Amino acid sequence: MSTTVENIQRQIGENPILIYMKGTPQLPQCGFSAQTIQALMACGERFAFVNVLDNPDIRAELPKIANWPTFPQLWVEGELVGGCDIVAEMHQSGELETLIKAAAARAQEGEGDAQA
């Protein structure tokens, strides 16, 4: 059985755009998660999510791994982008959409390569 740390590393590695949040995109359970999801959804690309309220082990371990104490946490291509304030600022400047669209495009290219 894999450890929580291994699960987190696998999730981050397998999902080019991943948000760890409280609740779900359809039903966020905190204002910060809701704000971050709105910005992410405005980019128009698919993304994965993990509800940390349903995963107390991840909720406890991820802040240690990420060196980031709060949720939500947006991860793009294995790198922590940040939480609500950073994502909101990036959304306002247009930086978030550029980052998300580039990651989604690279992920689609990678899927094509994997089928060879």
**43 assigned ligand-binding residue:** no
Q: Is 71 annotated as a binding residue?
A: yes
Distances (CA, A) of 72 to 36, 64, 82: 7, 14, 8
State residue 113's pLDDT score. 55
To the question of whether residue 64 is assigned a binding role by annotation, the answer is no
* Residue 31, CB-side half-sphere exposure with 13 Å CA sphere: 1
Q: Say if residue 22 carries a ligand binding annotation.
A: yes
> In 3D, which of 74, 3, 81 has the Cα closest to residue 38?
74
Residue 80 in tokens? 């922590």
Dihedral angle over CA of 113, 95, 44, 85, nearest 10: 120
Has 84 been labeled as part of a binding site? yes
Residues of the chain with pLDDT > 90: what percent?
Answer: 91
Query: What is the tens place of the pLDDT at every residue in 52-82?
Result: 999 999 999 999 999 999 999 999 999 999 9
With 50 as the cut, is the pLDDT of residue 115 above it? Answer: no
pLDDT above 70 covers what percent of the chain?
Answer: 95
- Domain range annotation of the chain: 4-109
Q: What is the pTM (predicted TM-score) of this model? A: 0.93
Classified by CATH at the fold level, domain 4-109 comes out as Glutaredoxin (3.40.30)
